[in-house]
Amino acid sequence: MSPNRPREAPAVNDSAPEPAPETAAGHRPRTVLLRGGEVYSPADPFATAMVVEGDRVAWVGSEGAADSFADGVDETVRLDGALVTPAFTDAHVHTTATGLARTGLDLGGARGPADALARIRAHAAARPDDRVLLGTGWDDSAWTERRPLSRAELDEATGRRPLYLTRVDVHSALVSTALLDLVPGITGLPGYAPDAPLTGDAHHAARAAAHASLTARQRTEAQRAALRHAASAGIGSVHECAGPEISGEDDFEGLLRLAAEEPLPRVTGYWAEAVTSAKDAARVRELGAVGAAGDLFADGSLGSHTAHLQQPYADAPHTGSALLDAGAVAAHVTACTEAGLQAGFHAIGDAALTAVTEGVRAAAERAGLARVRAARHRIEHAEMLDDRAVAAFAELALTASVQPGFDAAWGGDDGMYAERLGRERARTLNPYAALLRAGVPLALGSDSPVTPLGPWEAVRAAAFHRTPEHRISVRAAFTAHTRGGWRAVGRDDAGVLVPGAPADYAVWRTGELVVQAPDSRVANWSTDPRSGTPGLPDLTPGGQLPVCLRTVVSGRTVHARPIE
């Protein structure tokens, strides 16, 4: 780790947010000069200033050269040493659920069953008019008393009101008896158990009933709260992973409309519904989705024992749930490729990932390898990858949309992964370094509300992976969380601050900038300052993370923090 330049505690000027750029014919685009800071740009590794014209970056360079622009711009932002970077892209988000977790019952910090029940009682008392009580975030694997809550306990805590309480991984849920009563026939659906968390079809039916209780206003308020929180974290773009088993069409279309109408982060929508024809593909596009991808489930999750494994779980006598086989994968990818539509799947277990890669390879034999590669199909999570699967990702040009927060939360020799799989298998999970060495594109995200919206936390988690051989450099992780998200949707011109790129950027208060390779196994040729590699904040665990002062999307401010 080598220092770039000494830094003082920076701030940014407290001017009012910029209005939207003028784009109508005959109007000159509004220009903004940012100067006196650090600009993270491959165009100039020592840049201290940037000019934005309308919705595009117009120039990046030195403080001295910035003088020539000073008299001709509409606004000058004096950075006072602050860092300017591309805005982050979170490549996997469930926006409404994220907003509901922020505005509703979040059991993420509960210490055990007694604490969780106390929080449920308090929430029920505070929300007497809610038709269905909604909550999320419980994680029995982190409780000292490692058991989920019983239905009788839920009925007592809620006063026998309907309650839907999703597990932290969102692949199973606890429900009260009153909620079961709202779903005729649920006891006959796969995944139902008399007194255990619901999984599979039973869980999807319960979730649909619970979310149907939301009014349009509640949904919009939750979506707005989630996107504003994303903006405050320096996120300029999110990939919404929706679908018929996750959220309704009204929810999806309403979210896209909200993001288009208000000053909020961009939303790129994915609709996870199987496509077998050009008609199916057209319907996905009519919804506003860029792809039939995201959480099209090939399996479930490790925490809920529903990820599909080749060998049984270490703590359960089965191999999880196989939701798609190679034939179904091939049919979907072939139809999407022929329609020019991006395809993708949720796949976590090694058996699920084998089915997906075999299916995509079969689609390449039908539609042509070049066409499949050009479509940039994507796989969400992609956790249990062996060398063969990594090679298949590279061969088929599959994007790995991954969540480093998973390893931070559940990795390590004593984490949930080791409990579910045993330590040896757990150490193979999330092999980011192997993926990059093979040339597999990475796009980083959170799967919020599964793990929080926190891009610097995700970059830190990738760089300081709990399994050292899977670590990547801070620079590589940062690129995957900025430019990688844009490339995952087929855009190679964004996520980087160079002339002509979209003006999506964030301004940060941070400490010294460094070029950080946190492990000797990470390629570190560029850590010498003489290489001209631009520096990033020091993300050593335990240190303070950067604070977002401003987030700008397409030249328009979507978050501004007051000066302290």
Choose the CATH number for 29-86+496-510+546-563 among 2.30.40.10, 2.40.110.10, 2.40.50.180, 2.40.50.140.
Answer: 2.30.40.10
Report pLDDT digits (tens) over 440-458: 999 999 999 999 999 999 9
Count of residues in the chain: 564
- Does 216-489 match 95-213 at the fold level? no
Report pLDDT digits (tens) over 107-129: 988 999 999 999 999 999 999 98
Q: How far apart are CA 52 and CA 500, in angstroms?
A: 10
List, in sequence order, every beta strand (DSSP E) within 390-471.
399-402, 442-444
3-class DSSP assignment, residue 84: strand
Domain 216-489: which CATH class? alpha beta
* Domain boundaries, given as residue ranges, for the chain: 29-86+496-510+546-563, 95-213, 216-489
Report pLDDT digits (tens) over 201-240: 999 999 889 888 888 988 999 999 999 999 999 999 999 9
CATH 3.10.129.10 fits 95-213, yes or no: no
DSSP secondary structure string for all residues of 291-329: EE-SS-BSS--TTTT-S--SS--SSSSS-------HHHH
Report pLDDT digits (tens) over 236-276: 999 999 999 888 899 999 999 999 999 999 999 999 999 99
Q: Is residue 24's pLDDT more than 90?
A: no
Report pLDDT digits (tens) over 463-495: 999 999 999 999 999 999 999 999 999 999 999
At residue 308, the pLDDT reads 98
Report pLDDT digits (tens) over 55-72: 999 999 999 899 998 889
Strands 342-347 and 105-106: unpaired
At residue 171, the pLDDT reads 83
At residue 534, the pLDDT reads 84
Run of H or E including 283: helix 278-286
Q: Is residue 19's pLDDT more than 70?
A: no
For the whole model, what pTM was predicted?
Answer: 0.88
Burial 274-291 (b: 16+ CB within 10 A, else e): bbeeeebbebbeeebbbb
Task: Record the tokens describing residue 313, joined without a space.
Answer: 């779980």
With a CB cutoff of 8 Å and minimum separation 6, the contacts of 108 are: 101, 136, 137, 138, 139, 168
Classify the phi-psi angles of 443: left when phi > 0, otherwise alpha if psi is within -120 to 50, otherwise beta: beta
Q: Is residue 14's pLDDT more than 80?
A: no
Task: Record the tokens describing residue 483, joined without a space.
Answer: 């430019």
Report pLDDT digits (tens) over 319-369: 999 999 999 999 999 999 999 999 999 999 999 999 999 999 999 999 999
| Alpha helices (H) in 44-169, listed in sequence order | 63-66, 95-103, 113-126, 151-158
Of all residues in the chain, the percent with pLDDT exceeding 70 is: 92
With a CB cutoff of 8 Å and minimum separation 6, the contacts of 347 are: 298, 299, 353, 355, 356, 379, 380, 381, 382
Report pLDDT digits (tens) over 368-398: 999 999 999 999 999 999 999 999 999 999 9
DSSP secondary structure string for all residues of 345-399: EEE-SHHHHHHHHHHHHHHHHHH-HHHHHHHT-EEEE--S--HHHHHHHHHHT-E
Work out the burial of residue 451: count CB atoms within 10 Å of its CB; fewer than 13 is exposed, 13-18 middle, 19 or more buried: buried
Q: Is residue 4's pLDDT more than 70?
A: no
83-87, 133-137, 421-425: segment of lowest average pLDDT: 133-137
CA 350, distance to chain mean position in Å, is: 21
CA 8, distance to chain mean position in Å, is: 32
